[in-house]
Chains A and B, each alone.
Chain A
């Protein structure tokens, strides 16, 4: 789960990390009120979960009120790589002479958090990692002990940060690790940390991603998550408690188990179709759950046809079939053609129970997918 920049900066500021003065605005008027208070230059920054916002035109620096109005009008409501901008952060411009990168993330391979610092801040750090890996200094932290302050100093010096600001940067990094631990973050980074002409150190951007599996013990962050859904379908999936990802195709997919659902998406693509979504209905498939899953794909305008693929392990095929029948009988008209394939425990009984007036039935995953792809093609002709 990704926090917006303004949410992450609130968390940082509360922990004592210096951040620029800022206000959140949802209208041009609010943005102008904000710049009146903050002064110029002021950065107007789109609050969407998109990397490279600056390059895409989502961040502009205003030097006077006229520019501020122009940029606020431009950015509010704009489409940034598929996301509509509803909020901007209006922030005091920082007069910087140098930019650094600092971050904390989980090194999956090692199973340990790792601190990262680079003097090549302000640019895409993943490109730096690829082209010049030595430009990033790294230090692993023992998750059982937590950070020792010397580790933050060590990695900052190793990265070659100027000596007069090194201890301030190390202090920010040390605080970031504590935040990482306290908030169950999966990733936390500041890119850039700006060094001003007066040799002050300021966190000019903020990325903070939270481990979704830990939200049960992070109630405040869970609340922030509510506010950071990227579209209505994702919000709805969150309410239903589904693992859901929206893609850009037109074949809706419902299945059970992450690996098998991913495989179904891949096979749709393999047979020339284009998947509209990933939706894992999980174990069990009672009518209520099926109804919710159908609501997800039926209310997606992109979806032209649906494939429903269940491999019953402990879940029984006959129960799934009953759930599908019950859910579909609730519709006056089935909005989108659906192909069902049941396999595993009691699959044959399930196939017999399925109401073939309402759904099409196929025996194998390959056949079900090909039929759904064909159904979708027919809809677009």
Chain B
């Protein structure tokens, strides 16, 4: 079992003819993902690595019965691409693109509330259910099957933690990057609720970072509604206020909201142990299982 994606997921890649889209579509196929179509305006009728390309997502869904999309479209056109997948009623849209203007995402978020599609990202590495499907840019080789769920705002930090887990033989049920932008589709709480409902996820790792209050809200959710044990990590303890630390969403406001300490305290209050290093996070997970 897993959450959100498995070996039945049928994927359309938006932007499959671009450099990133082509490369990662190939990597996804190599991992065993059902990449059934590509969608690129003006490129309908072509094929990329044997995958048929359509002009619109709608045509791709109609012809190939796709139920999920991965979006590799440059920032200026990415919001439009997300709207296209939302308006096609896909089950899942995964937006990899980094650098989408925040005001575009505010409009996307508004529409998202009116549809049944789940959006992951933007500015995320995607999602992987080891041995079944990978939608995004995560390096498949570091993951292994298992019962640890992982949800994170960051890509490479996820890889670091997964590496620490895999080294100890702690495999993963599903790993999800929710994205480093201030406005994102799927929140920590959405992912945590899905892991809680998944009978094959026995422990969860949550990697947060400075900025916003999602981790604080997630901590309350864990305390009140989760039986599955959760271990935490928060990046950005040394970040100065008012500075954007790489991710558009990773910023401590001038008034001091969104600090690492506030998130660590909230998690600790909910009974969630927070590692000082990624290695310590793996220690906590080992203790749970």
Question: A residues within 8 Å of B by Cβ?
Answer: 51, 106, 108-109, 111-113, 126-127, 129-130, 142-144, 181, 184, 186, 211-214, 216-217, 243, 245, 247, 255-263, 265-270, 275, 278, 280, 311-314, 343-345, 364-366
Contact = CB atoms under 8 A, between A and B. Distances in A.
B225 interface: no
Given A184-B101, A263-B278, A278-B245, A313 B137 contact: yes
A144 B183 CA distance: 15
A111 B110 CA distance: 8
Contacts of B154: 257-260, 262
A334 B182 CA distance: 39
B238 A108 contact: no
Among B210, B247, B253: residue with most chain A CB under 10 A: B247
Interface string B172-183: 000000001011
Contacts of B51: none
B46 interface: no
A216 B76 contact: yes
A203 to B, nearest CB: 20
Contact of B76 (A129, A130, A217, A257): A217
A51 B254 contact: yes
Contacts, number: 182
Given A257-B155, A257-B157, A259-B155, A106 B238 contact: no
B142 to A, nearest CB: 6
Nearest to A369: B277
Contacts of A109: 212-214
B246 interface: yes
B217 to A, nearest CB: 8
26 contacts: A108-B212, A108-B213, A111-B109, A129-B255, A142-B110, A144-B110, A184-B101, A184-B103, A211-B102, A213-B75, A213-B101, A213-B248, A245-B239, A247-B240, A255-B156, A257-B154, A259-B235, A262-B238, A265-B236, A278-B243, A311-B163, A313-B142, A314-B27, A344-B163, A364-B279, A365-B278
B249 interface: yes
Contacts of A211: 101-103, 248
Interface in B219-267: 233, 235-240, 243-250, 253-256, 260
**Residue among A112, A214, A258, A267 with the highest chain B CB neighbour number at 10 A:** A258
B168 interface: no
A245 B158 CA distance: 22
Given A257-B155, A261-B246, A108 B183 contact: yes
Interface string B113-151: 000000000000100000000000111011000000000
Given A243-B246, A245-B240, A313 B212 contact: no
A280 B246 contact: yes
Contacts of A280: 246
Interface in B80-132: 99-103, 105-107, 109-111, 125
B106 to A, nearest CB: 4
B157 A259 contact: yes
Contact of B141 (A129, A243, A247, A345): A345
B207 interface: yes
Contacts of A275: 238
A100 B99 CA distance: 35
Given A217-B76, A262-B235, A365 B160 contact: yes
Given A247-B240, A259-B247, A313-B155, A270 B182 contact: no
B238 A266 contact: yes
B286 interface: no
B31 interface: no
B278 A313 contact: no
A167 B155 CA distance: 48
Contacts of A214: 101-103
Nearest to B217: A109
B126 to A, nearest CB: 11
Nearest to A106: B102
A111 B106 contact: yes
Contacts of B238: 247, 262, 265-266, 268-269, 275
Nearest to B214: A109
B159 interface: yes
B10 interface: no
Contacts of B158: 259
A366 B27 contact: no
Nearest to A180: B103
A344 B160 CA distance: 8
Given A143-B103, A144-B110, 14 more contacts: A112-B110, A130-B255, A257-B154, A258-B246, A259-B152, A259-B156, A260-B154, A263-B233, A265-B236, A313-B125, A314-B24, A314-B27, A345-B142, A365-B278
B269 interface: no
Contacts of A278: 239, 243, 245-246
B202 interface: no
A216 B255 CA distance: 29
Contacts of A247: 238, 240
Nearest to A260: B156
A266 B157 contact: no
Nearest to A278: B245
B102 A313 contact: no
Nearest to A130: B255
B284 interface: no
B239 A366 contact: no
Contact of B160 (A143, A181, A213, A260): A260
Given A108-B249, A216-B75, A262-B246, A257 B156 contact: yes
